[in-house]
A and B are shown apart, each in its own frame.
Chain A
Amino acid sequence: MNIVITGTSRGIGLSLVKRYIEQGHFIIGCSRSESEFKHANYQHFVVDLTNEKEINNFALAVKKQYGEVDVLINNAGIASMNHFMLTPLETAKKVMNTNFFAPFIVTRSFINALKKSNHPRIINFSTVAVPFNLDGELAYVASKAAVESMTKILAKELASFNITVNAIGPTPVKTFLTANVPPDKIQNLLNRQAIKRFGEFEDIGNVIDFYIKESSDFITGQIIYLGGVNK
């Protein structure tokens, strides 16, 4: 399969690149900077995901080169941890641009390439912070809540193209996004899960494996949270 993953320079994105190369797929990744990761089955694009023109050119180049895209994983995201009263509007806009508008534009740009696949899949990233309505992360949670709505509505609107659209809501995972969160705050979060531990890259890959299986043609509009979290 040809799999497009956004935000592949590090963290979850890079782990997914390695996972799906190991499974024999071809991966097209992107991030704001060049990637240090090199592999015969990996091509990296430098793309500013807040720039519509750059995204369109990225999608066009991928389509020209590979024809079809089977899976689009909208992984790129940023976090913002601040009380509402301490969140500048510009910060909120930046979070919304990267976490919601970027997957909105990326998805739009890759529709034609996805339509050429026999089992096209779109996977979005939410977070358990949405069902937790996590205080101190308003902009981040609002952007991911928007991603959840987009996932459910796109599932309906793209069903006629045979494209399934699902999302995963990871628990905290040890990445750069959580590196600066105070340990007691992380522990409080973990305590709200049914299974009180950090998520691993493997846990995320497992859910995505399920979504992208050919036999998951009838699974769409779903949000799976890790760690036993429910809405």
Chain B
Amino acid sequence: MEIKEILKIAIDELNEQLEDDEKVEFSENTKFIGSNACIDSITFVTLISIIEELIEDQYNKTIHLVNEKAFSQKRSPFYSIETITAYIEDLLKEEV
């Protein structure tokens, strides 16, 4: 399964836990952090946890998305769907 598909499933799963006016759109314009972020920090933690679990199930690998690598990058990898996808693909390559 492609990482982007996993993110789509993760956001669907997250939306099941959110009120109607809080639901997250799966779009290239969706921002997860910064002043225009569509979710608060607790919801962000929940999303990260769902993504990690889906990757564990799909790839049989444990990765911790929030690690030193994430903090060391100039631009946060958690900015958008695109950046998260690229970041996770990188992490999985490193795991091989």
Residues of A participating in the B interface, judged by any CB pair closer than 8 Å: 56-57, 59-60, 63-64, 108-109, 111-112, 115, 157, 160-161
Closest chain A residue to B46, Cβ basis: A160
- Pick the residue among A57, A60, A64, A115 that contacts B49 (CB under 8 A): A115
By secondary structure, the B interface counts as helix
Contact at B42–A63, with CB atoms within 8 Å?
A: no
**Cα of A112 to Cα of B65 in the assembled complex, Å:** 14
Given contacts A112-B52, A112-B53, contact A60 B46 (CB under 8 A): no
Give the Cβ gap from A101 to chain B, nearest Cβ, in Å: 14
**Cα of A112 to Cα of B60 in the assembled complex, Å:** 13
Closest chain B residue to A160, Cβ basis: B42
- Categorize the interface residue count of chain B: 10 to 19
Contact at A60–B42, with CB atoms within 8 Å?
A: no
- Pick the residue among A60, A115, A160, A161 that contacts B62 (CB under 8 A): A60
B69 in the interface (beta carbon within 8 A): no
Given contacts A160-B42, A160-B46, contact A60 B53 (CB under 8 A): no
B56 in the interface (beta carbon within 8 A): yes
**Cα of A111 to Cα of B56 in the assembled complex, Å:** 12
Contact at B62–A56, with CB atoms within 8 Å?
A: yes
* Residue of B45, B52, B62 most packed against chain A (CB within 10 A): B62
By secondary structure, the A interface counts as helix
Interface string of B51-78 (1 = CB under 8 A from A): 0110010001110100000000000000
Residues in A neighbouring B53, C-beta threshold 8 A:
112, 115
Contact at A59–B62, with CB atoms within 8 Å?
A: yes
Contact at B61–A112, with CB atoms within 8 Å?
A: no
**Cα of A59 to Cα of B60 in the assembled complex, Å:** 11
Q: Which 8 A-B pairs have the closest CB atoms?
A: A56-B62, A112-B53, A60-B62, A112-B56, A109-B62, A60-B56, A59-B62, A160-B42
Closest chain B residue to A161, Cβ basis: B49
Contact at B64–A112, with CB atoms within 8 Å?
A: no
**Cα of A157 to Cα of B56 in the assembled complex, Å:** 22
Residues in A neighbouring B64, C-beta threshold 8 A:
108
**Cα of A57 to Cα of B62 in the assembled complex, Å:** 7
Contact at A63–B49, with CB atoms within 8 Å?
A: no
**Cα of A63 to Cα of B52 in the assembled complex, Å:** 13
The 13 listed contacts between A and B (C-beta, < 8 Å) are A57-B62, A60-B60, A108-B64, A109-B62, A111-B49, A112-B49, A112-B52, A112-B56, A115-B49, A115-B53, A157-B45, A160-B42, A161-B49
**Cα of A109 to Cα of B56 in the assembled complex, Å:** 11
